[in-house]
Amino acid sequence: MSLLTTIENTRANLPLFKQARLVELWCAEPVFFASRELSDAYYTEGVLGNYALAYALGWVRSPYRLSGTATWRPTYLEDLGGLSDCYVLPAWPKQGKVTFRWERFNALSDSYWYAMTNNRVATSREDLPVQREGKKPNSFRPSNFPQSGRLRTIARGNLFQTLVFGNRELPDYIRVGKFMSKVRVEVISELKQVALSEGMYQSSAYLNTADLPAELQMLSFDLISIPPAPLVKNLRFQGAAWQFGEIIVPVGICFCGGGIK
Amino acid sequence: MSIETLTQFLAPTYENFPKGRTIGMVVLRKTQSELILRTEGSGEPMCSEFVQAGFQHKNSLQRLVMTKRKQVAPERRFGREQLRGFELLYPNKDGAVCSLNTNAPCEMCIDCFLYGFAAGGGGAQKSRVWTEDAFSLLPTSETVAERTINAIFETGTMRDENGKASTALNTSEYIKPGVHFLDVVTLKDMTADEMRYVLGNILMTPRYGAVSSRIGRMENQILGIFGGITELPSSLELVQSLYDALIEANTPLEHPFDTDLLVEMTKGAIATWTNRRGISRQLTEEQLTDVIADVDRHWDGERETFLKRLDRSYETFRKPPAKASSSRKGKKNAEPVTPEG
Ligand SMILES: [Zn+2]
């Protein structure tokens, strides 16, 4: 009888993680994500999102060639929703603070020849004779791509930490961000799950709002607004919890809240 | 056919899905003339960065940085010159020939398939050549020099006929000839011919950085090739381990640094890498020489056959670039153009 109730109360595809590893991520290169855009400046937030980490760890194989809608419509739900034997939290800065670095980008620096035209860097030298004839060459057409601006990147040498749930083997290095920056992965400790009964808890981890169980009572938190889903930190919540080392997370945390229902 | 030693880590044909076949290469880049690598606008004249000197020696050291962008752009350009020569660049959606740094690549040429692209109208290919920032072993105090440029008048003096002083007086920094950069390049799910193509680009690109006829010459040498399912340590970690070895051996950090000694030290440092998880094989000296000879052979006598064969290998994967979809048209792209090209 009691067994039956337990089964009924547990969602079918709810992952049960018995262990997790505390992992340190060292940025061998500056890391850039377009978290926010203000005019010509692109800001990376001081966090490594867990969806990006899941792809970087090789848990999902996304194709080399993207075509049609796939180039701008992400497929997180299809890709990650089905993963039930592994999970990773968004990575938080180990020292609590992140150092950033500003870089200027332009699409014209490396070309033999260029000209600024209609919000567009023309780089095709072959277009010069066409222009001399008074015609408008192809590369002079307006562009709706930003051609120059500033990037705030996470500086080289920053250290992040995260929890990796499940037993999957981890690579020593991963690539993250828009410029495929190299990041070293180091397992710091192996942690056993301690089940905590229903109660009020505070989590010191960064959590992805899309991955929290729908029924979770969130009492207070700080919001980090980044795509594709906002993250929370310093979350106080009411519910059952798991403890791994010093980190407490709500029971039932999983990619996209368990995927397609 | 010595590249076949790596068959296990190479793809039989281009495939759209990653399969974890990883080739790692350690590249030594040595300047042959003055070189100018400027940062893009961060205020510093030459690309350099304070980093931890070694693993054991944690003091900070200012090293020159050759960013991934400064490497890959001239290397792609070299390959594309060859493709253009054999008419292997395709027209883009506007009918213009494929070119870098535009949002209308052809999506069909060897360069597009290997180094990737992001088209404005939708459609993208991820690069399978993963570069990383390369570092100088020696600090900038040893590797950078300054030059004063003055424009003298026809009179041969700094004053014109009216006695006005020349204002064209300037000092500029440059990287000395004979400076070594260490670099790690990763090739993902690459076919043998694709690997030959990328290696050819690295070995034959003559100039980097700010371009002129006198400066930017650089010679690249491959010091190690590894096959496995994961990446090699980073170039920063490589120079850090060499720094520790240098201090250990009491070798002075002076320019010019003996290339033979550096090669020997680097080979010593990377010899242990196969012990790491996921890096399963390093080519022996002999196999490495064979692979380089194989690449040279393909780029020398057999270049046209080789490039056309590689070009044909994409035949079944080629799709002409799509026009921008109406739903997407006019919408501002939230992502900046990747300054990779
Ligand atoms: Zn192309």
Task: Count how many pairs of residues, chain A against chain B, have C-beta atoms within 8 Å.
Answer: 163
CB atoms within 10 A of CB A110: 24
- Write out pLDDT tens, residues A3-21: 333 333 445 556 789 999 9
Mean pLDDT confidence for A224-236:
93
B122–A72 CB contact, under 8 Å: yes
Cα–Cα distances in angstroms (integers) from residue B86 to residues A78, B306, B320, in the given order = 42, 11, 20
Is A180–B127 a contact, with Cβ atoms under 8 angstroms apart?
yes
Strand partners, A22: A163, A189
Angle at A137 between CA B340 and CA B334, to 5 degrees: 40
Give, in order, the Cα–Cα distances in Å from B189 to each of B83, B126, B265: 22, 12, 30
Indicate the range of A105-114, B150-159, B221-230, B277-286 predicted with least confidence.
A105-114
Which residues lie below 8 Å from residue B168, measured CB to CB, with a gap of 6+? B149, B150, B151
Are B69 and A178 an interchain contact pair (Cβ–Cβ within 8 Å)? Answer: no
According to the 3-state scheme, what is the secondary structure of A108-175? CCCCCCCEEECCEEECCCCHHHHHHCCCCCHHHCCCCCCCEEEEEEECCCCEEEEEEECCCCCCCEEE
Q: How far apart are CA B318 and CA B312, in angstroms?
A: 10
- Cα of B35 vs its chain's centroid, Å: 15
Q: Do A151 and B336 touch (CB under 8 A)?
A: yes
Q: What percent of chain A has pLDDT over 90?
A: 54
> What pLDDT, on a 0 to 100 scale, did the predictor assign at position A146?
60
pLDDT of residue A105: 73
Which residues are within 8 A (CB) of A190 and not within 5 positions of it... i.e. 6 or more apart? A19, A21
Lowest mean pLDDT among A64-68, B16-20, B29-33, B301-305: A64-68
Mean pLDDT in residue range B176-205: 97
Q: Which of A71, A61, A65 is nearest to B316 (CA)?
A: A65
Distance between A155 CA and the closest CA of chain B, angstroms: 11
Distance B98 CA to ligand 1 centre (A): 5
With an 8 Å Cβ cutoff, is B275 touching chain A?
A: no
Contacts of B152 (CB under 8 A, 6+ apart): B158, B166
Q: Give the DSSP letter of residue B210.
A: S
| Mean pLDDT, residues B57-66 | 96
b vs e for A216-244, b when ≥16 Cβ sit within 10 Å of the residue's Cβ? Answer: beeeebeebebeebebbbebebebbbbbb
Give residue B198's pLDDT band: very low, low, confident or very high (50, 70, 90): very high
Check pLDDT > 80 for residue A116.
Answer: no
What confidence score (pLDDT) does residue A126 get?
A: 57
pLDDT bracket for residue A86 (50, 70, 90): very high
d(CA B45, CA B172): 8
The pLDDT score that the predictor gives to residue B152 is 66
Please list every residue in chain A whose beta carbon sits closer than 8 Å to the beta carbon of residue B52. 157
Give the pLDDT confidence score for residue A110 in this predicted structure: 42
Q: Which residues of B touch A126 (CB under 8 A)?
A: 96-97
Q: Kindly report whether the peptide bond that precedes residue B321 is cis, defined as omega within 30 degrees of 0.
A: no
Are B231 and A182 an interchain contact pair (Cβ–Cβ within 8 Å)? yes
CA B157/CA B202 separation, integer angstroms: 44
* Predicted confidence (pLDDT) per residue in A47-83, tens digit: 999 999 999 999 988 889 887 666 666 778 878 888 8
CA-nearest residue to B276 within chain A is A172
Give me the pLDDT at residue B303, please. Answer: 96
Closest chain B residue to the Cα of A60, Cα to Cα = B18
pLDDT tens digits, one per residue of A143-187: 555 667 888 999 999 999 999 999 999 999 999 998 899 999 999
Report residue B46's pLDDT band, with 50, 70 and 90 as the boundaries.
confident
The verdict on a CB contact (< 8 Å) between A182 and B51 is: no
Residue B211 binned pLDDT confidence (cut-offs 50, 70, 90) = low
φ/ψ of A74, rounded to 5, equals -70, 155
Q: Which pLDDT tens digit goes with each residue over B106-150? A: 999 999 999 998 876 677 899 999 999 999 999 999 999 987 766
Tell me the two tokens of residue A103.
Answer: 């870089």
Name the token pair of B4.
Answer: 């076949």
pLDDT, greater one: B27 or A62: B27
CA of B119 to the centre of ligand 1 (A): 11
- Nearest chain A Cα distance for residue B318, angstroms: 11
Contact between chains at A147 and B42 (C-beta distance less than 8 A): no
> Do A11 and A135 touch, CB atoms closer than 8 A?
no
